[in-house]
């Protein structure tokens, strides 16, 4: 499965970033072969709509599933119709992308069927 993990760096040992739309980068991992690449998040500095832009970007990368710490309604409404599964990884545990991948492979991540928060709408809470 082609899995996207939101990260703060550019390697498999980079720290997991729980922010989907505002993550610095995405690690695309083939969960069967272990092959991975990293991609800068083009939505990182967007003034608004970061969740949608990030979701469209990971869909173009061919992701079948995404692991992050939270999904706003716009990201959810873009990923869900694209058939991309969304999983939640624990936050605040100083995990790396490799740690998150191990949790995913072990079946220890919760799948979400709805947005996890109301959204930020361009950073205005």
The domain spans of the chain are 2-111
CATH architecture of residue range(s) 2-111? 2-Layer Sandwich (3.30)
Mean pLDDT by 10 residues, the chain (125 residues): 97 95 97 94 93 97 97 96 97 93 96 86 46
Q: What does the CA dihedral 18, 26, 11, 70 come to, rounded to 10 degrees?
A: 10
Contact 111, 86 (CB under 8 A): yes
CA distance 39 to 26: 5
* pTM across the whole model: 0.92
Q: What is the pLDDT of residue 124?
A: 40
């Amino acid at each position: 499965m082609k899995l996207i993990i939101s990260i703060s760096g550019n390697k498999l040992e980079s720290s997991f970033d729980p922010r989907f739309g505002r993550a610095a980068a995405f690690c695309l991992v083939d969960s069967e072969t272990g092959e991975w690449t990293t991609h800068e998040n083009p939505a990182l500095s967007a003034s608004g709509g970061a969740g949608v832009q990030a979701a469209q970007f990971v869909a173009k990368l061919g992701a079948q599933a995404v692991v992050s710490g939270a999904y706003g309604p716009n990201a959810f409404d873009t990923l869900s119709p694209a058939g991309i599964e969304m999983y939640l990884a624990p936050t605040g545990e100083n995990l790396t992308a490799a740690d998150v991948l191990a949790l995913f492979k072990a079946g220890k991540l919760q799948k979400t069927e709805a947005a996890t928060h109301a959204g930020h709408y361009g950073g205005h809470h």
